[in-house]
A and B are shown apart, each in its own frame.
Chain A
Amino acid sequence: MAKYYDIDDILAEDELVPAIFKVAANEVGLIDSSDDTNKVESGSKVELPFWLASELHLRQAVSVGFPRCFNKRTQEEIKADAAHVDLRNRCPYFYELGCKIVLLTGDKSIGPVLLVAFMTRYKEVLIKAHTTSLTVAPKSLTLLTNEEAKLYEAARSSTAAVKKWRMGGPRLKKASVLGRKRKPVE
């Protein structure tokens, strides 16, 4: 809950993570809809949004694992060619969610993967953001996670703003108030 008003932070916490119930819980059948008993057995595997899983984890009710987007295969792909892995499709909040899970569970095994992935992909974003033409969005943009897309957008908009400034345009604008005629005082 570090960034209470940050919509991206909220959406990142909405991603599903796998969790295993350590205790049996009544009246929460909708989480595990495999039967009608309206309860979750101890040891059953469910997918919960991160915000719920983290609260339950803190209460020792579930153990949280890494979602599929951090599985072996993705890790291999990142090691092979991080720049061309479609992370957006796997998890639009790859880094955010990864950080949150690591901090929650203390399992640091994916830390290096996150760092290497960002290091490689950051360079791609850097080059593309400052070189590609401003009107056409490059195709590789669809591979970027939400965080990377924002990075790209930040670079692109500042470059565009400077371009616009150099092209000129209206330099000094008259305030709308000044155009009006003052009413004569009676």
Chain B
Amino acid sequence: MAGQSDPSGSTFAAAELEFLAEDETVEIVPNMRMDTLDFICGQYEKLTQILEAERDSLDLFQPLPFHYVEISRLLFDHARDDIPDVYLVRSLIEDIKDVRFHKIGTGMEKLAGRASAIVLKHISAMEVNIVRPFTARALETFYKLDSPEMLPDSERGAVKHSQVADHGQRRPLRPNR
């Protein structure tokens, strides 16, 4: 499955992702009096905890719904009257998103050399979609420049850490996990 908007068919446009996200089940609350709202990640109070956890750990992403960016936007668009403290909720999600994106950025700065896979646990669809074109291109170039045909034997391993076999290595986004 690939996006239709991109001529090479390799990436999704944001709107396409949103469309896919609409398949996800969300918990809804009957239209009556209620104390807490069941939001995407359960109770609404949890969002602050997630933000805290997101800020505390530099290495890990919190497990959020795969389409949390898209779903939260759709909910804000269509159900804003049903969400108590909509501005607070919205800014919390914005903050969570910013923290996570910053984490992705700092993780990608660590990228160097040949890698066959990058491990990004709990990353969401929108987040991975944003960095996909850039990362794919960068990895391609790294793969080419860091190949055994390009480096003299003496230099191999000197530029970066030791290398497993020719097919590169799996690399966590944050190597110092």
Name A's B-contacting residues (CB within 8 A): 95, 99, 102-103, 108-109, 111-112, 114-116, 118-119, 122-123, 126-127, 129-130, 147, 150-151, 154-155, 157-159, 161-162, 164-166, 168
- Checking A108, A123, A161 against B150 with a beta-carbon cut-off of 8 angstroms, the contacting residue is A108
Q: How long is the Cα–Cα vector from A28 to B109 in the complex, in angstroms?
A: 50
Asked if B141 and A103 sit within 8 Å, CB to CB, the answer is: no
Name 12 A/B residue pairs within 8 A (Cβ), A-sorted. Answer: A102-B149, A102-B150, A109-B152, A111-B150, A114-B145, A122-B111, A122-B112, A122-B141, A126-B108, A158-B11, A158-B133, A162-B126
Q: Annotate B133-159 by CB proximity to A: 1 below 8 A, 0 otherwise.
A: 110011001101110011110010011
Encode B117-143 as 1/0 by CB contact (under 8 A) with A.
000000000100111111001100110
Main secondary structure of the interface of A (DSSP, over half): helix
Query: A147 to B152, Cβ gap below 8 A?
Result: no
Interface stretch (choices B12-20, B48-56, B60-68): B12-20
Q: How far is the CA of A147 from the CA of B137 in the complex (A)?
A: 9
| Set of chain A residues within 8 Å of B11, measured between Cβ atoms | 158
Q: Is the CB of A151 within 8 A of B138?
A: yes
Whole-angstrom distance from the CB of B169 to the nearest CB of chain A?
Answer: 16
Residues of A within 8 A of B130 (CB): 158-159, 162
